[in-house]
Structure 1
Amino acid sequence: MKEWYKDDLAYIHDVGYSNYALKSAPGIIEILHRSEIRDGLVVDLGCGSGLSAQELTKANYRVLGIDISQSMIEIARKRVPDAEFRVESFFKAEISPCHAVISISECFNYLFDPDPHLQTLVDLFDRIYNALASGGVLIFDIAEPGQIAPGITTKGFNEGEDWIVLVEKKEDQKERILTRRIITFRKVGEHYRRDDEVHYQQLYEATDIAEKLRQVGFQVEIVRSYGEYNLPKAHAAFIAHKSV
């Protein structure tokens, strides 16, 4: 299996891009409380470096995190030793019986698996539904079409004390695929080490995903924020309940 979020990108994502997970966490915990879920197991799909798991553990939930990146999981295990983490594609992983499933920061869009994506996603919804306890909830967000204007390639960079990341993005309007080319430079000793990754995302309309969730059996609400944290442009979040 090809590696994604290797050591340097995992490190940079953890130290430089923590806002999405940390600012989403209060709103997600609020949704869990509204759903009368105040303890029990939360399965975090695409858990990354364990930032959401950290906040959920502080709020007295047990957490199982699953991520395709070995490097991300190594960071997560150090950050949240009380949680359980597995290196695996969540599209193929067994979903443990639980009270809630979350997936934060457009993880369901990523084309890290070779199988047809929409059907694989629907199959995942079905497995999550069966794993959830009565009254359980699935909370996640997606990226929609319209990330980048037609015919445009954007280029940007960000930097920290010991790293620089360059990102080039373009969107195939017809195929609804977003391509991110990511070049990282991380200081190792006296020198900077370069690495490259290319990530592809399948973009979905929120209404289409909501319909697939309803077909599985969920009661679905589409929102544009997690509590006070507003999602980026052309993103949508879903609160999908399993009937009691």
Structure 2
Amino acid sequence: MTPAETPTQFYGADIAYVHDAGFSDFARAAADEVLRRMPAEKAAVVDLGCAGGVLAERLSGRGLEVVGVDLSAPLLELARQRAPDARFVQASAFEVDLPRAAAVCAIGEVINYQHDGTDLGPDRLTGFFRKVHDALVPGGIFLFDAAAPLRVGKSVRRGWTEGEDWHVAFEVAEDRDADTLARRVVAFRRIEGIWRRTEETHRQRLWPRSFVVAALKEAGFTVEVLTGYGDLPFPGSLIGYCATKAHA
């Protein structure tokens, strides 16, 4: 067994591989939501927290201009291989300059993650919503999901799952006073017959639905709350949103 990668990484090579191999269902389902909901006006689709490019592949395959954004270099490497016609940028979803867009997506708790070294407070999230609104064409959509308080049914939740050449275990603890969550992820990946262990801890700020809806409306959106993407339902306290910019 080879040494672990450092726990301070954010989706390093092995956990990026596991995420892409085993946790891409929401991205696939969200791609169909985008195709169904986006306006006819020609403009880019921006995929914030694009991970391994599953959504980007589907949309660029339909001839759409797709810009994917992620902080993880290993995830972006996978995305570029999967969706060569899309453009990818390594950056924070909150800090990247947004092009004019028909749709902006943030699939998989993207707006919850505290990983770029800056505070993720209510003012920052509200400002981010305004930036997305400004980038969208009239009738454009902002499709995303966000973890809410009580994401963990009890104080600590543990579990594991596996694929052909990987296993992953997780431990999730929620601080209900601070509305934060810490998810410890331990992955084992087999490469050329050797198992390699990787550990990371991902931290999140949990957003109440009432706050998210109010902040989106303050930014100028009309808001629809979703219980899933298409036929794929969200688990408990994961909430979806489709925010639409008014037509001129």
**TM-score (norm: length of structure 2):** 0.91
Q: Is the 8 A contact 2:170 2:185 kept in 1?
A: yes
Q: Which residue of 2 aligns with 1:8?
A: 14
Cα 1:39–1:233 shift into 2, 3 Å: farther
The 5-angstrom pairing of residues 77-92 of structure 1 reads 77-92=80-95
The 5-angstrom pairing of residues 89-168 of structure 1 reads 89-117=92-120, 118-150=122-154, 152-168=155-171
- Alignment of 1:188 with 2:201, yes or no, is no
Q: Which residue of 20, 26, 35 maps to 1:20?
A: 26
Q: Which residue of 2 aligns with 1:197?
A: 200
Per-residue deviation, residues 1-40 of structure 1 (Å, max 9, x unmatched):
x6310000000111111212113322332122xxx33753
SS for the counterpart of 1:158 is strand
How many angstroms apart in 2 are the aligned matches of 1:170 and 1:99? 37
Paired letter, 1:218:
F
How many angstroms apart in 2 are the aligned matches of 1:61 and 1:39? 8
**TM-score (norm: length of structure 1):** 0.93
- Alignment of 1:65 with 2:71, yes or no, is no
Q: Which residue of 2 aligns with 1:75?
A: 78
RMSD, matched Cα? 1.5
How many angstroms apart in 2 are the aligned matches of 1:44 and 1:239? 14
SS for the counterpart of 1:179 is strand
Q: Is the 8 A contact 1:24 1:229 kept in 2?
A: no
Q: Is the 8 A contact 1:28 1:226 kept in 2?
A: no
SS for the counterpart of 2:89 is strand
How many angstroms apart in 1 are the aligned matches of 2:112 and 2:231? 23
Q: Is the 8 A contact 1:28 1:227 kept in 2?
A: no
Q: CA deviation at 1:70?
A: 0.4
Q: CA deviation at 1:112?
A: 0.9
Higher relative contact order, structure no. (Cα contacts within 8 Å, ≥ 6 residues apart):
2
Per-residue deviation, residues 49-100 of structure 1 (Å, max 9, x unmatched):
0001111122332100000100000000000000000111111110111111
SS for the counterpart of 1:180 is strand
Q: Which residue of 1 aligns with 2:210?
A: 207
